[in-house]
Each structure stands twice: as C-alpha cells, then as structure tokens.
Amino acid sequence: MGPSRVRAPGVPPAPGAVAAVARVALLCPDLLFGSRLRSALENAGHEVLDAAAAAAAEADVLVVDLTDDAESRVAGAAGSGMPVLGFYSHVEQDVRQAAEAAGFTRVVPRSRMAREGPALVEALLA
C-alpha cells in the first residue's frame, strides 16, 4: 500500500491538495483487492481509513468485504450508524441477502465494486 492521505480531523488539506469528498472506512482483509480499492477511492479524492481503527467512527461511509467471515462482518457493520456498502462473491447470494436483511445500505458483487467503487460510495452520500 502506498502512503495514506488520511489527516487528523479538523486539519485542513495541505496547500495544493484536493479536499476529500468523503472519509471512507474500509474493511477489506484481502490485501491485493483492498489496495486496489483504496487507490481507486483515494484517486477519486476520498480519504480512506482502516475500518478496524478507532478513527473509523469518524467516517462518512463504511465499505465492507463480505467474501470471508461474512456472518461476523454483517453483524458488526449493521449497527454502525452510517451508510454501509458491502461487496460479496457473486456466487454467494445468501451473503447478499443476509447483508440486506441486516440493514446494509447497498450490497453489490465484488466485480461491480472493482469497476465502480468510487461511484458507488459517492451515490451513498448523495
């Protein structure tokens, strides 16, 4: 992973920096896909926080990988109080249904998250 653009709350962006559109808490243990998603979100101007960190409570939206250990991630994210975007393997329709039933704002296949991640996040904030 490259350097993070996360800054402390209340600290303005550095001169010449683009202000972030949103603070996104990302829970994606898949290092390769998580890095790709983080880069796409940062390139779109979002700040990306590690969802496991305490700073995730200050996020505008939570993005959750439901590929592995879906049951505990669905339970943990559902009560976050912020918009939650989950993504899953297209063959695991039961995971999608469980996330929707738990109150996830939006649940999409992993392939769609790869193609449209920043746009999906922005749609949750509109």
Q: What is the pLDDT of residues 102-111, one digit of tens each?
A: 888 999 999 9
- Supply the DSSP string of 5-36, one letter for each residue: ----TTPPPPTTPPPPS-EEEEE---HHHHHH
pLDDT at 82: 84
Q: What is the per-residue pLDDT across 33-72, written as a single tens digit (0 to 9) for each?
A: 999 999 999 999 999 998 776 455 688 999 999 987 656 6
1-5, 93-97, 102-106, range with the lowest pLDDT: 1-5
Strand partners, 109: 88
What is the average pLDDT across 16-42? 84
pLDDT classification of 10: cutoffs 50, 70, 90: very low
User: Which candidate, 18, 21, 101, places its Cα nearest to that of 59?
Assistant: 21
Read off the pTM.
0.77
Question: In angstroms, rounded to a whole number, what is the distance separating the alpha carbons of residues 118 and 102?
Answer: 23
94 token code pair: 């039961």
- CB-based contact 99:110 (threshold 8 Å): no
Q: Would you give the distance in Å from CA 46 to the centre of its chain?
A: 10
Residue 118 CB neighbour total at 10 angstroms: 18
Residue 11 has pLDDT above 90, yes or no: no
User: Residue holding tokens 């996020």?
Assistant: 59
Residue 18 has pLDDT above 50, yes or no: no
